[in-house]
Amino acid sequence: MTIQLDRTRRSFALDEAVAILARTPAAIDALLRDLPEAWIAAKEGDDTWSPFDVVGHLIHGERTDWVQRARVILEHGEAVPFDPFDRFAQFAASQGRTLASLLDEFAAARAQNLRELAALRLTDADLDRRGRHPALGVVTLRQLLATWVAHDLDHLVQISRVLAKLYSDEVGPWRAYLRIISGAQG
Amino acid sequence: MTIQLDRTRRSFALDEAVAILARTPAAIDALLRDLPEAWIAAKEGDDTWSPFDVVGHLIHGERTDWVQRARVILEHGEAVPFDPFDRFAQFAASQGRTLASLLDEFAAARAQNLRELAALRLTDADLDRRGRHPALGVVTLRQLLATWVAHDLDHLVQISRVLAKLYSDEVGPWRAYLRIISGAQG
């Protein structure tokens, strides 16, 4: 374990990663369930995703990405590259679904994946094992699991940002103080 | 009501604003409660706020900002400027507190403020009423309430971003795909 010199970086720890992964479905549910349709369908522009689209994308990750790729690393190492991830699968898969049913499916799929992850009883040596990403090349199991965490949070940022931007005009002069809307990095 | 021409902007509607304001405390609670201390105290650098700091800031807003400023507008219009908001009050006020107690306080204060807001029985004409911000000048009650919503979401973005950045190094080559970490605008 690396000594933490400041509060801006954290060494990967499996129990901490799981603590985040276990919480994000409930956080997204608390934010989105039963919101008016216009908010669920909000977008930032053409070729951007709505909160509804993002939940579908997160489900597709649970089905095809994180734990499945962990198994590929453990079984095949660098010999077998991961299947490419389909970033657009949710547009067909979510067709005709309600947000409520997507939120339920995401929570259930995540819970199942965390059970499967626990059953792998990963050691520190396992976390160092290497696999092959079809575009990025060699990656470790630790990097895969850290990315699962950051990916959840990245999409929680996205959902919150898309919603906030709906009021870009309505906030009037306050837009100067709101970093999401003004676009200032912070 | 303005016709919505696309999905990127939304005219202010009080019931929709309340729908968001009622959800954010639970979303933040679901994300943060009982997380390991290092995550609660995470920062992006000097003079930036941790998730713990942000919750204290949100409480201070409930105590001194949104509904209080709405009352100033309704009672005094442009004649009496709002009291300036103290962006650093939480550093003293949260001293020695637990995150759990701050989350509880935020949820209770928000619920109370939404009850007070409902009791005002605001009309569309009320939403057009004008007040005076000490720095920004003339603003409307509608802009104040829209900002309350966007401000919640701006800080949910911030909390999620601070947490994600802890794994900036641990994600390895995947950092290119994670917009929070790569800094790409999206």
- Helical H runs in chain B? 14-32, 37-40, 51-64, 66-76, 89-93, 99-119, 124-127, 141-165, 179-182
Report CB contact under 8 Å: B163, A173. Answer: no
- Helical H runs in chain A? 14-32, 37-40, 51-64, 66-76, 89-93, 99-119, 124-127, 141-165, 179-182
Confidence band for A4, pLDDT divided at 50, 70 and 90: low
> Is it the case that residue A9 has pLDDT exceeding 70?
yes
A chain contacts of residue B50, beta-carbon cutoff 8 Å: 7
Measured between CB atoms, does B39 come within 8 Å of chain A?
yes
Tell me the C-alpha distance between B94 and A41, whole Å: 37
What part of A 115-174 touches B (C-beta under 8 Å)?
Answer: 133, 136-137, 139-140, 142-144, 146-147, 149-151, 153-154, 156-158, 160-161, 163-174
Confidence at residue A186, expressed as pLDDT on a 0 to 100 scale: 45
> Is it the case that residue B140 has pLDDT exceeding 50?
yes
Residues paired with residue A157 on neighbouring β-strands, in sequence order: none
Residue B134 exposed, middle or buried by CB count within 10 Å (0-12, 13-18, 19+): exposed
State mean pLDDT over A115-141.
98
B chain contacts of residue A140, beta-carbon cutoff 8 Å: 172
Residue B1 exposed, middle or buried by CB count within 10 Å (0-12, 13-18, 19+): exposed
State mean pLDDT over A143-162.
98
Residue A108 phi/psi, 5-degree rounding, is -70, -40
Q: How far is CA A174 from the centre of its chain?
A: 30
Give the minimum alpha-carbon distance from A119 to chain B in angstroms, rounded to a whole number. 22
Tens of pLDDT, residues B108-136: 999 999 999 999 999 999 999 999 999 99
Tell me the C-alpha distance between B99 and A41, whole Å: 33
ipTM rounded to 2 decimals:
0.95
B chain contacts of residue A66, beta-carbon cutoff 8 Å: none
